[in-house]
Amino acid sequence: MRGLGGIRRWSIRTRLLLVFVGILVPYLALAGIGLVGIRALWYQVQSIQHEVVAEIDASADLQVAVVQLAMPANDYLITGEPREREKFERRLARVREILARTATAFGDPEERRLLEAVRDQVARMEALSQEILALPNPRADTSAPLKMKALDQLGDDATALLTRIHEVAHREVEQDLQRGIGVIRWVTAAWLFAVLLSVAGGVALGLLFATWISSPVRAIAEGSRRIAEGDLSERVEVSAGGELGETARAFNEMAERMEASYAALEHRTRELAALVKANQAIAVTESVNQHGRVQPVGGITHISLVRSPLGSLIE
């Protein structure tokens, strides 16, 4: 109860400040929820973008490297140049490096399975390319074209596997986008809920604080109305503080002075009425002699009463 009494003694400035803070809090909560949702959505989009870019770059690089891996053997069959062996080794090292990098880029089980199949195809391409590059006279060897055809088929199979990896990556992108849309929907729903909560809370707090602020003013207005109707005993309960409390105390002091003045006026009016009645009784019972002299009745004369200040007031 002491705490409630202390709250009632708050000034109008303090109450208005509390009203402002109370209505502002829901909007701050709304802004906080929106900020958290936006940050979550931003991180989700960044994660999707990073994952997609890493997978597409890795699969594209691997696809180009696999196609280029078969070229040195084909060129060796045409030119017979030994330097094609060195070119093959450089390109094989490039393929191995990309395979090692893609091992961490692909997290989907199907992608990993397809990547293992590509590894097998690359190992077979490596063995067949080394056989072709080991031929002493590739242009005269009748088995060389067959081996080259088999090498091209291995390259096509590896490319087909990488294409399937692309398809899986695109499917993952769509799933990630669906998750992003889910986050957007969640943020939207939370935002709408926060808006409704903010509006409801603002209306409730506004009504509560309006009643809290206006109740002392209404009490003073009601007291003024009762005094205007003649009830000078009306007083306002001084429970508010600050400007409202000072106004209530000033109102009560004014009412007390008015009541005291009215009581004094009534007292004097009663006294005056009693004197008038006494004077009228004297005028009826007294007799005037022929010389205009007045016989005293009860020690009070009519003329003396008329000539007194009270008599002038009666007249």
For the residues of 52-121, what is the DSSP string, one character each?
HHHHHHHHHHHHHHHHHHTHHHHHHHHH--THHHHHHHHHHHHHHHHHHHHHHH--SHHHHHHHHHHHHH
pLDDT for 73-89, tens place per residue? Answer: 999 988 888 899 999 99
Q: Which residue has the higher pLDDT, 2 or 83?
A: 83
The whole-number average pLDDT for the span 54-69 is 84
Q: Is residue 225 part of a domain?
A: no
Q: Which domain holds residue 32?
A: 2-209
Counting runs of H as helices and runs of E as strands, what totals does the chain give?
A: 9, 0
Closest by Cα among 40, 62, 14 to 212: 14
What pLDDT, on the 0 to 100 scale, is given for residue 121? 92
What pLDDT, on the 0 to 100 scale, is given for residue 94? 92
Q: Is residue 61 part of a domain?
A: yes
Q: Is residue 267 part of a domain?
A: yes
Residues 203 and 256 in one domain: no
Q: Say if residues 258 and 227 touch (Cβ distance below 8 Å).
A: yes
Q: Is residue 229 part of a domain?
A: no
The whole-number average pLDDT for the span 187-214 is 74
Statement: the pTM of the whole predicted model exceeds 0.85: no
Residues 170 and 281 in one domain: no
What pLDDT, on the 0 to 100 scale, is given for residue 154? 92
Phi, psi of 290 (to 5 degrees): -70, -25
pLDDT for 220-260, tens place per residue? Answer: 777 788 877 777 777 777 665 566 677 777 778 887 888 78
Residues 77 and 192 in one domain: yes
C-alpha separations of 37 from 6, 50, 53, 186, 200 in Å? 40, 20, 24, 8, 22
Closest by Cα among 139, 172, 185 to 37: 185
pLDDT bin (cut points 50, 70, 90) of residue 309 is very low
Share of the chain above pLDDT 90, in %: 15
Q: Is residue 233 part of a domain?
A: no
Q: Is residue 262 part of a domain?
A: yes
Q: Would you put residue 230 in left (φ > 0), alpha (ψ -120 to 50) or beta?
A: left
Q: What is the number of domains present in the chain?
A: 2
Least confident of 45-49, 110-114, 187-191, 224-228: 45-49
Residues 274 and 125 in one domain: no
Residues 104 and 172 in one domain: yes
Residues 21 and 104 in one domain: yes
With a cut of 50, say whether residue 311 has pLDDT above it: no
Q: Is residue 171 part of a domain?
A: yes
CATH of the domain at 138: 1.20.120.1730
Q: Which residue has the higher pLDDT, 64 or 140?
A: 64
Residues 198 and 307 in one domain: no
Contacts of 65 (CB under 8 A, 6+ apart): 91, 94, 95, 98
Among 14-23, 52-61, 75-84, the range with the most confident prediction by mean pLDDT is 75-84
The whole-number average pLDDT for the span 168-192 is 77
Report how far residue 102's alpha carbon sits from residue 258's, in angstroms, rounded to the nearest whole number. Answer: 97
Q: Helix, strand, or coil here: 294?
A: strand
Last residue of a domain, one of 188, 209, 230: 209
Residues 190 and 288 in one domain: no
Q: Is residue 150 part of a domain?
A: yes
Residues 308 and 164 in one domain: no
What pLDDT, on the 0 to 100 scale, is given for residue 13? 66
Residues 292 and 187 in one domain: no
Residues 94 and 14 in one domain: yes
Q: Which residue has the higher pLDDT, 43 or 78?
A: 78
Residues 42 and 189 in one domain: yes
What pLDDT, on the 0 to 100 scale, is given for residue 12? 63
pLDDT for 93-152, tens place per residue? Answer: 999 998 888 877 777 788 889 889 999 999 999 999 999 999 888 888 888 889 999 999
Structure letter (DSSP) for residue 137: S
Sign of the alpha-carbon dihedral angle for 132, 135, 137, 141: negative
Q: What mean pLDDT value characterizes the chain?
A: 76
